[in-house]
Amino acid sequence: MPGPDRDFWQRRFEQRQTPWDRAAPGPHIAAWFAEGTLRAGLRIAVPGCGSGHDALALAQGGCDVTAIDYVSAAIELTRQRLVAHGASAQLVEADVLAWQPTSPLDVVYEQTCWCALHPDNWPAYAAQLHAWLRPGGALLLMAMQCRRDSASEGRIDGPPYHMDINAVRALLPDPQWAWPAPPHAAVPHPVGWTELAIVLKRR
Ligand SMILES: C[S@@+](CC[C@H](N)C(=O)[O-])C[C@H]1O[C@@H](n2cnc3c(N)ncnc32)[C@H](O)[C@@H]1O
């Protein structure tokens, strides 16, 4: 399978080359708590949790968090962050294309794991997101917008891979998912791109 593998990501953490890391939770988490989309008690997965800022914010908000990453360095950073703040979550070192929850989840918080996967993996990942959630559950999707000029030549460059809204819609189609009407909030990312914040309901 083309695209980055576990060793690629492990090296990025070991060499501290993690420019995607905001050193803070994703800014839209606070907005989703404020409007009630996120609230205490929800069973929530954070795939590709990285160094754990989002997992910590969700755990501090009272959510029952499962943080998943297939890189041991990421899981260890997340563990240390949770311990340092007296918070807790389930930590799972696993491939998001293989992991399954023990029972269906209320929420998936998707922050730059999808765009870390080569598009060949996207159909399998979209199927996973659907399988993880209970009917009526929510996918909180931060869809990375990083279109490059090379795309006009048909090149597929990344990570991060541009999450073209047409591709995302094809992989999360109505009627399997209920989509909100656009425009979706565009959240700046420190590396200079933006993410579209979209709440999709799993039907
Ligand atoms: C770009 S980083 C984002 C980390 C974090 N979500 C953030 O926003 O800071 C992508 C993360 O996904 C993890 N990852 C990539 N492919 C994965 C896979 N197939 N299974 C589990 N984790 C994966 C990487 O190890 C890395 O921690």
Q: Mind listing the pLDDT tens digit for each residue in 52-89? A: 999 999 999 999 999 999 999 999 999 999 999 999 99
CATH number of the domain bearing residue 101: 3.40.50.150
pLDDT tens profile 138-149: 999 999 999 999
Q: How far is the CA of 24 from the centre of ligand 1 (A)?
A: 16
d(CA 76, CA 62): 21
Is 87 inside any structural domain? Answer: yes
Q: How far is the CA of 137 from the centre of ligand 1 (A)?
A: 22
Is 38 inside any structural domain? Answer: yes
pLDDT at 1 over 80: no
- Percentage of the chain with pLDDT > 70? 100
Ligand 1 binding residues, C-beta < 6 A: 9, 20-21, 48-50, 68-71, 74, 95-97, 111-113, 116-117
- Domain of residue 100, residue span: 6-14+27-202
Is 31 inside any structural domain? Answer: yes
- Can you list the positions of beta strands (E) in the chain? 43-47, 64-69, 90-93, 105-111, 133-145, 177-178, 185-188, 194-202
Domains of the chain: total = 1
Angle at Cα 198 formed by Cα 197 and Cα 201, nearest 5°? Answer: 155
Is 148 inside any structural domain? Answer: yes
Is 19 inside any structural domain? Answer: no
Q: Is the peptide bond before 159 cis (omega within 30 degrees of 0)?
A: yes
Structure tokens at 14: 């070991």
Best residue among 1, 69, 72 to mutate for probing ligand 1's pocket (most ligand atoms within 8 Å of CB) is 69
**Long-range contacts of 18-25, Cβ-Cβ distance < 8 Å, separation of 24 or more:** 18/50, 18/51, 19/190, 19/191, 20/50, 20/112, 20/160, 20/189, 20/191, 21/50, 21/51, 21/53, 22/53, 22/189, 22/190, 23/53, 24/53, 25/53, 25/54, 25/56, 25/57
Place of tokens 């929800």: 42
Average pLDDT over residues 32-41: 98
Give the pLDDT score at 190: 83
Structure tokens at 132: 């993880």
Tell me which DSSP letter residue 66 carries.
E
Virtual CA dihedral for 195, 164, 69, 110, nearest 10 degrees?
50
Is 86 inside any structural domain? Answer: yes
Is 22 inside any structural domain? Answer: no
Average pLDDT over residues 99-112: 98
Is 176 inside any structural domain? Answer: yes
